[in-house]
Amino acid sequence: MKKFVVSTDSPYEIIIGEDIIKNVGTYIRQCIPPCRLCIITDSTVNRAYAQVVMTSLIEAGYQTSKIVFPAGEHSKNLTTYSNILESMADEGLTRSDAVIALGGGVVGDMAGFVAATYMRGISYVQLPTTYMSAIDASVGGKTGINLLCGKNLAGAFWQPSLVVCDYKTFDSLPDVKRLDGVAEAVKCAVISEASLIPKIQAWDYEYVIERCVSIKKSVVEADERDTGLRQLLNFGHTVGHGIEKLSAFSVSHGQAVAKGLIVESRAAYKMGLTEADIAAELSSLLNGLGFDLSIPYSADELYRYALMDKKISGDKISMVIPESIGKCRLQKISLSELRQFVELGLSED
């Protein structure tokens, strides 16, 4: 078992291990006194892990309740959010109670945002059950929901009190969900640590999660509010979020980010923003890992969507520019250059 402390304004621990979900109540007792814990989860994870978590929480002296919403990105909306808040108020949960986010990225974002806003903010614990959430979404306190106009457009920075990651839960994941995590791990390798790549290819969960969490911890500690350095973690997402949205979420987050990594790398090179021409190498890596890298959307469609990106400030957007596999920097480009950026990134000529 490995532990990290994330030293944000309110510091918290991340515990990573195999087959540890059954002990989660004991870990939570180190940071949250006995109270009511409201487990928020989705219909898939509910069937697999809610009972073991609830049993552990009760054994540790907590009262529990549970709110389940339909699995999938489609549920990450205002209606689900408001239904959950109303249920919590109906149950009489107070400010000294807490939320348990049990599931993948959608559950973590939703439950975190509920915790950030219920009675102006209560504690929550992240229990990621997907590779993607373990590597990325459960760490760093970004919470939120989608609006009709785009992904994660309403949200809050709200750090959890604890993250407990049991990578044995990935055994039950379908391949597409495993690949979501792989895309985020490849992103981490490209921005910061090329030596991760063979470990990603070897499906070494323990090593990859520990390194990605350690990288994310350093970035979040330096820029908790995402005003600079943290935007590196958004590599591939300007285009990736557009693909997800344009596909009505039939393309998963990780699949979309993988495509976005290629488009943004190719564009950076073709625009003359870097001498590193890494798109072909990345394509062959991602193909080999099982990704479909086709993109059936036009530059105009993706550009329109990119105009909702949260890295825009005034008439400029910060883009992540690879200098090599393992090193990236941020560079602002104008929104008119962004149109050309997307077009060049899509064209394989």
Please, what is the minimum distance in Å from the beta carbon of residue 74 to ligand GLY?
Answer: 20
Please, what is the minimum distance in Å from the beta carbon of residue 237 to ligand GLY?
Answer: 8
Please, what is the minimum distance in Å from the beta carbon of residue 196 to ligand GLY?
Answer: 17
Of 142, 151, 177, 253, the residue at the interface with ligand GLY (CB under 6 A) is: 142
> 57 or 145: whose CB is closer to ligand GLY?
145
Please, what is the minimum distance in Å from the beta carbon of residue 134 to ligand GLY?
Answer: 12
Report 311-330 residues binding ligand GLY (CB under 6 A): none
For 310-317, which contacts have Cβ atoms below 8 Å and span 24 or more sequence positions? 310/152, 310/153, 310/226, 311/231, 311/234, 311/238, 317/238
Residue 151 interacts with ligand GLY (CB under 6 A): yes or no: no
Please, what is the minimum distance in Å from the beta carbon of residue 136 to ligand GLY?
Answer: 5
> 88 or 233: whose CB is closer to ligand GLY?
233
Of 140, 254, 322, 345, the residue at the interface with ligand GLY (CB under 6 A) is: 140
Closest CB to ligand GLY: residue number: 233
Please, what is the minimum distance in Å from the beta carbon of residue 335 to ligand GLY?
Answer: 22
Please, what is the minimum distance in Å from the beta carbon of residue 238 to ligand GLY?
Answer: 12
Cα–Cα distance, 208 to 131 (Å, whole number): 10
Please, what is the minimum distance in Å from the beta carbon of residue 233 to ligand GLY?
Answer: 4
> 37 or 111: whose CB is closer to ligand GLY?
111
Please, what is the minimum distance in Å from the beta carbon of residue 209 to ligand GLY?
Answer: 15
Of 42, 73, 109, 136, the residue at the interface with ligand GLY (CB under 6 A) is: 136
Report 220-249 residues binding ligand GLY (CB under 6 A): 226, 230, 233-234
Burial of 45 (0-12, 13-18, 19+ CB in 10 A): buried
> 104 or 140: whose CB is closer to ligand GLY?
140
Please count the residues of this chain forming the interface with ligand GLY, following the rule CB under 6 A: 7
| Three-state SS annotation for the chain | CEEEEECCCCCEEEEEECCCHHHHHHHHHCCCCCCEEEEEEEHHHHHHHHHHHHHHHHHCCCEEEEEEECCCHHHCCHHHHHHHHHHHHHHCCCCCCEEEEEECHHHHHHHHHHHHHHHHCCEEEEEECCHHHHHHHCCCCEEEEEECCEEEEEEEECCCCEEEEEHHHHHHCCHHHHHHHHHHHHHHHHHHCCCHHHHHHCCCHHHHHHHHHHHHHHHHHHCCCCCCHHHHHHCCHHHHHHHHHHCCCCCCHHHHHHHHHHHHHHHHHHCCCCCCCCHHHHHHHHHHHCCCCCCCCCHHHHHHHHCCCCCEECCEEEEEEEEECCEEEEEEEEHHHHHHHHHHHHCCC
Tell me if 299 sits within 8 A of 342, measured CB to CB: yes
> 210 or 226: whose CB is closer to ligand GLY?
226
Binding site for ligand GLY (CB under 6 A): 136, 140, 142, 226, 230, 233-234
